[in-house]
Amino acid sequence: MIYLDSAATTMQKPPSVARAAAYAVGHMASPGRGGHPAAMKAAETAFACRQAAAELFGVADPERVAFTSNATHGLNIAIRSLVSAGDRVVISGWEHNAVTRPLHGIGAEIITAQAPLFDRAGQIAAFEAALDGGAKAVVCNHVSNVFGFILPVEEIAALCRERGVPFILDASQSAGCLPVRQDRLEAAFIAMPGHKGLYGPQGTGLLICGSDPAPLLEGGTGSASIQQTMPDFLPDRLEAGTHNMPGIAGLLAGLRYVRARGPEAILRRERELTRRAARGLAGIPGVHLFVADNPGEQAGVLSFLMEGKDCEEVGEWLGQKGIAVRAGLHCAPTAHRTAGTLESGTVRVSVSDFNTPAEIVCFVRAVSELART
């Protein structure tokens, strides 16, 4: 199979990830729940994972790196820690349902800072205008999971700092390939999955806490057990229940891969593959591409449409040819509404560090064949 659905999850991982997860299954117990070697081995692995993440993401204190089960989990904690019913919250027009559904669920007043696709200056101006009306928080994704648009999050974070508005970053598509630095952003929270650009197993995620969070789950933490409220210190405050040690061990292996390879090198490879796909698709009659004029504004995600063909049918056809892409709305109706593709949806191609130019050639050839039918 040619796997081009890494924006959903990176299925091809460094071999060390599966090895680490398998080792954890047989050798690691529950960190903090015992003093025996298997519990301490788990504790060492969890700490090493926090430390590796803290170093990669510019977090001074590894205690402020909490394990979550995915980015959605982290975003729910972040949003529910800061936002109450009726609060005015500013978001970009490119957000995922992981952001918009919790906000709707809480009953927040959602203000969307609208700007055209791949218009970074327009995006900054839109946030500036929206923030003039005040806000309880800003939630913004770093890279659109539909179009690969890289939002100017450092500038948006600066606008928030100037106004004292907490900033929540959804780094679902950027962690591992773009600079995500808490020491520069000073975000209230940064949520990210462990199973995408960090190459960890599914069921892993990280939440970087610049602010004090409210727990989403309550229960045992292996600490302050007499107290009947959740501990007031991190990471225990957010980590009730048994840890996903196979996931954490695998995530540590993934983080080590990313740090050794370098996010810049990964981004460079993903961009080259995406641009190659774009060049190939551009030559096919009836294909409409969503591609940035400036390559620096787009990460390894590319959406397209085929004239006269339903996007889901395109995805299905490619799947039958052994090419995995994702079609439809990508859990991001807000992004499709902003781009004007809510009715049609799009076909999304998303690459990882493990894709090859030859795979892109095969993919373009398949689309070309479909266009002729």
| DSSP tag of 174 | T
148 Rama sector, left if φ>0, alpha if ψ -120 to 50, beta otherwise: left
Nearer to other proteins, 46 or 110 (CB): 46
- Tell me, rounded to whole angstroms, the distance of Cα 166 from its chain centroid: 19
Among 61, 86, 192, CA closest to 137: 86
The least distance separating other proteins from the CB of residue 54, rounded to whole angstroms, comes to: 10
Determine the residue type at 180: V
* Coil vs helix vs strand at 346: strand
- The first and second tokens of residue 12, run together, are 């091809």
Q: Which is nearer to other proteins, 26 or 35 (CB)?
A: 35
Distance CA 57, CA 231 (A): 25
Cis amide prior to 31 (ω within 30 degrees): no
Residues paired with 303 in a beta bridge: 290, 348
Rounded Cα distance, 256 and 360, in Å: 27
Please give the distance of CA 203 from its chain centroid, rounded to a whole number: 13
161 vs 259, beta carbon nearer other proteins: 259
Q: How far is the CB of 47 from other proteins (least distance, A)?
A: 4
Least Cβ distance, residue 182 to other proteins (angstroms): 17
Q: Which of 222, 231, 207 is nearest to 70 (CA)?
A: 207
Tell me the closest approach of the beta carbon of residue 334 to other proteins, in angstroms: 36
DSSP-assigned letter for residue 298: B
In the complex with other proteins, the residue whose CB is nearer, 152 or 205, is 205
Interface positions with other proteins (CB under 8 A): 31-32, 34-35, 40, 43-44, 46-47, 50, 61-63, 222-227, 231, 233-236
Measured distance CA(173)–CA(141) in Å, rounded: 8
Q: Which is nearer to other proteins, 194 or 315 (CB)?
A: 194
Q: Is 331 considered catalytic here?
A: yes
Which of 49, 140, 177, 331 is an active site residue? 331
Shortest distance in whole angstroms from residue 223 CB to other proteins: 5
Positions annotated as catalytic residues are 331
